[in-house]
Structure 1
Amino acid sequence: MMNNVYKDYIFDFYGTLVDILTDEKDPELWDKLAQLYQAYGTDYKGEGLRKSYAKRVALARKELIELKGVAYPEVDLTHIFNQLYVDGRPQSSCLHQLEDWGQLIAIVFRVLSRKHLLVYPHTKEVLTFLKDQGCHLYLLSNAQAAFTNAEIDLMELRSCFDTIYLSSDSGICKPQPEFLKQVLDDYGLNPSETVMVGNDLTTDIAVAKAVGIDGILLNTFPYSRQELETSPIKPDRVITDIEDLKTVFT
């Protein structure tokens, strides 16, 4: 049941506040990444690097599932890129700052694969409005800290949030209930006064339902009317513009 006014808003990031398009299958992306690895002593080629990356991600996901006992793990890509260097380097070559390497490659990976990134219309205006009403705003995103933090700053949105939760830091992602519960527990949020706002039924709305808070679908995909009607996951409200969040105060 929708409340008249919420005190705490938990927002998704990609597809909700910002529009992003990436292509992580682009052969040119992998060729350029392979050239970086080659420059530091490995013999990767583009397609070989892509396949090794996919295998490492799959293995890391399996290990996290077993370690954490969860269905929805989140792999930290900086560790993957570090491991790929260790796997591919000759014994005579070694980077001394391996963690910096993983961070660098993750950022390069994102920059090369990103086609566009922009804030949706009215986003900053509405977030500012909600804060002016005394609401607390939190960001909960299935995202890689290595490059999402930079993109949050690039879009000038960091100051809008009381705190930011990124799945790669937690090792789990939406719709794993514990990811959202972490926000509720850390800040002692009242579920009846808290709402999740996101663009994905299977992650954002599903996790809201799993922990017993309302979920507002910002329909940017967009889902068709038929998809919304037949989906077993039902949002408490569907909006097509973030500006519609202001109506609860009028």
Structure 2
Amino acid sequence: MTYTDLIFDLYGTLVDIHTEESAEVWEKTALYFGFYGARCTGAELKRAFEREMAARQAKAGQSYECFPDIPFEQVMDALFRKKGICTEGLGQNAAQLFRIASMEHLRLYPHVLEALAALRAKGFRLWLLSNAQRVFTAYELRYLGLGEQFDGIYLSSDYNCRKPDRKFFAALLDEQKLDPARCLMIGNDRETDIAGAVNAGLATLYLHTGLTPPDQEPADPARTPGKAPADCRRYEYEGDDWAALTALLCRL
């Protein structure tokens, strides 16, 4: 087996999700703020959130990071504190309310659980490396039945940086003592998952799915696993058919 470790992106790779951060979502979140005495309109809350997030991202970028990832709930906590409300847990609750209110659907792509089980049975170790907020994603993983499917879960908000930053890839590679030459990164975004993995020395499998950014090119059929040259380290696959894809991966 050429590869021993498979590293997965989450949203758009294993999970189909659609969120809409509409004015109505901000109004509902503002109502929650108002329940605790921090009255504001949805538009006011949105502007305050964007200012606070931008300030924290700028500070992080200036000090150590090109691609900072600021925990969402910390920003919500800061907004409560600026209104004089210091009750513990309100930021987390507001963040989760915002996420649920914005979510139109959340579901696994077909055959994902069967695919992960088959790949593990084949002998691969499985890792999750996702640009994601723990305050949302930890619960979504549990809801989807993914929480116990990986040897380790790495979420960008825990590391204050995100793909494509090499530091986020290094967190996994260094902590788990993985050999980059034997790791395959699987993701649906050329600019974050794939470019970042290449920079970290990993082989890659680009999935062109319905959640791939619309400006990115479809998969090159000549790079499909099983059709690509034997020395290929930059695979590509069109779609989210995990039943077919698993059979191809098991032959790598």
Q: Which whole-Å CA distance do the structure 2 matches of 1:227 and 1:194 have between them?
A: 24
Q: Which whole-Å CA distance do the structure 1 matches of 2:110 and 2:31 have between them?
A: 38
Secondary structure, in 3 states, of the residue corresponding to 2:137? Answer: helix
- 1:158-173 to 2 correspondences below 5 Å: 158-173=147-162
- 1:1-250 to 2 correspondences below 5 Å: 5-24=2-21, 26-67=22-63, 69-89=64-84, 94-97=85-88, 100-221=89-210, 227-228=217-218, 236-239=234-237, 240=239, 241-243=241-243, 244-250=245-251
Listed one character per residue, the Cα deviations across residues 117-163 of structure 1 (whole Å, up to 9, x for unaligned) are 00001211111011111211010000000010000001001111011
Instruction: Output the amino acid matched with 1:145.
Output: R
Q: Which whole-Å CA distance do the structure 2 matches of 1:204 and 1:63 have between them?
A: 25
Over 6 Å off, 4+ runs: 223-226
Instruction: Output the amino acid matched with 1:74.
Output: D
| 1:28 shift after superposition | 1.1
Q: Which whole-Å CA distance do the structure 2 matches of 1:27 and 1:190 have between them?
A: 46
In structure 2, relative to structure 1, the CA distance for the partners of 1:119 and 1:30 (3 Å cut) is same
Secondary structure, in 3 states, of the residue corresponding to 1:159? Answer: coil
Q: CA RMSD in A?
A: 2.1
Q: Which whole-Å CA distance do the structure 2 matches of 1:87 and 1:215 have between them?
A: 44
In structure 2, relative to structure 1, the CA distance for the partners of 1:248 and 1:72 (3 Å cut) is same
CA contact (8 A) 1:5 1:249 kept: no
* Unpaired stretches in structure 2, ≥5 consecutive residues: 221-231
The normalised TM-score by structure 1 is: 0.89
Listed one character per residue, the Cα deviations across residues 102-127 of structure 1 (whole Å, up to 9, x for unaligned) are 11111101000011000001211111
| 1:11 shift after superposition | 0.3
Instruction: Output the amino acid matched with 1:33.
Output: T
* Unpaired stretches in structure 1, ≥5 consecutive residues: none
Secondary structure, in 3 states, of the residue corresponding to 2:80? Answer: helix
Instruction: Output the amino acid matched with 1:237.
Output: Y
| 1:47 shift after superposition | 0.6
CA contact (8 A) 1:11 1:138 kept: yes
Q: Which whole-Å CA distance do the structure 1 matches of 2:33 and 2:10 have between them?
A: 31
Identity rate of aligned residues, in percent?
A: 34
Instruction: Output the amino acid matched with 2:172.
Output: V
CA contact (8 A) 1:217 1:235 kept: no
**How many residues end up aligned between the 2 structures?**
236
| 1:242 shift after superposition | 2.9
Q: Which whole-Å CA distance do the structure 2 matches of 1:229 and 1:247 have between them?
A: 15
Q: Which whole-Å CA distance do the structure 2 matches of 1:235 and 1:88 have between them?
A: 52
Secondary structure, in 3 states, of the residue corresponding to 1:227? Answer: coil
CA contact (8 A) 1:5 1:248 kept: no
